[in-house]
Chain A
Amino acid sequence: MEKIDPRKAFGKAVSEIAEKNKNIVILSADSGGSSGFGEFSKAHPERYFEFGIMEQGVVGIASGLATTGKVPVFCAIAPFVTARPFEMLRNDCGYMKQNVKIVGRNGGITYSDLGATHHSLEDYAIMRMIPGMVVLAPQDPSEIIAASKAMLEYNGPVYMRIGNEPQEVFLQERQFEIGKGQVLCEGSDMAIISTGLMTAKAVKAAEKLREQGIAVQVVGMPTISPVDREIIVEAARKTGRIITVEEHYTEGGLGSIVTEVCSEEFPVPVKRLGIPKVYATSGPYEEILSFYGLDVAGIVKAVRESLSGMEYGNG
């Protein structure tokens, strides 16, 4: 199946919507071309603003623009639009409740060989701590398109993480609703709750497990915040055991969220797959994922271990 560059899918989707919504403006910190806005910048120079490499300034400027009715979209490398300008996101976008769209591309460890400065493994955690900030992590190129549309229709600050590696479309074309997860595979032995690029692997792992006689439910969770609590509780009730899978630290992201929700509403064992809280190693993308157990084999292994009681005694 054809693989699609997520940045191009995103840039094209936003550019098409911006043809109709003239309030949309694109901001660049020397990052617009690499974010899929090359054509837009030529077609609409009056709505494309280049600022050079100044992410703090750009986030503040974006919020100022939004106060005048503009809908600024700012896309650059994920850590540089989250960790670096965090206070601007917190105060200027969040506290001021401005309609700013921040997109972190090359999220997670997709900038694999460039090393830990360019990885973004805490972005879900820090962005979800901003009151009112929607945090999205679409799971394939078709969902990036749907999520971009939803993001631009929503009135308020949004952070969306996308990847870098070209990816196959595996989700059906569907309505994307902010705050809603979706059951992608049925099963009652255990539930995998997954987000972002990991969901494709979670679905493949479920297929493999099915061949081995284990029926795993897979819940795709493209909204990190506000999270779909209902679907988490349903998965806990139905399967009694959950594994979360994400390209993020095991602390602070989806794993923490699922643990929090289960702890409050329907306690079941939750195993969190992700990257331990270290500065991740560098190398080819898929190899780093395998190194941390974030490949199909790693997910299969984690499910089997959990079901055999190795993880949680005989519970």
Chain B
Amino acid sequence: MAAALASTHATPETPGQEFWRALRENRGAMLGLITVVLITLVALLAPWLAPYHPHLTDNTVFLSPPAWQHGGSTAHLLGTDAIGRDILSRLMHGARLSLVIGLAVVAISIVLGIALGLLAGYVRGVFEIAVMRTMDVILTLPSLLLAIVIVAILGPGLVNAMLAVAVVCLPHYVRITRAAVIAESGKDYVMAARLSGAGSLRLMLVEILPNCAAPLIVQASLGISTAILDAAALGFLGLGAQPPTPEWGTMLADAREFVVRAWWVVTFPGLAILLTVLAFNLLGDGLRDALDPKLKR
């Protein structure tokens, strides 16, 4: 109540300010945002922050434990792997890969998804049916299985894994865009633009698309975490980034056989995946609450 009274003699908030205030009040979202910023900084500065080169092997320190454990040394804070590579350095460089994977996958699927969704919602007819049925098929198949089959066909590797994950993520963006386009197309402002002579392309991209942005932004921020998780799973199965690339999932695959002897080679890469994915999910949840007050309780 006090806030409502106070706001009467202040200038009204712009939508941007309102959004930022709603996000700032959400502690989970801020925690997510801070973590994402930190991980991004580590990723950007990895070559300078990392104590060693991620591929550098040192045959004097195989499977050296982390610094705080007996036998560990401060030279390798998180220990070394089976061929003496510094785990901390590899994790820092892995952050670059994971962020690139997350952003690239979302970029590919959002661009394709918006294009297909806009066309399906705007053109309708046979094209819409064909696109939406295809998306149904992709959604019906277990996502990882489809990604695996695609990678098996294209050949294992980071780029192919990213493409596969992008395909698997595509239906969400197509569905969201199409639904928003259909909902928006009937509104008066679209009709007004059409009557004042706006062409189809202008109607789709300039009039309708910006009004579908909120759900797409939410899906994109949650999509980054899905992409990182799926790409890491492919890496773990040996189908993603190939060794010696310091991708977190691939590092875990290498570490599997040392579960019994060296807990640290298994624990840290997974922890890095979990923290990153969790941060993006927290942020995504917060964005959804801030952008779509209807969903907030």
A and B co-occur in one complex: no
Q: List residues of A whose CB falls within 8 A of some B CB.
A: none
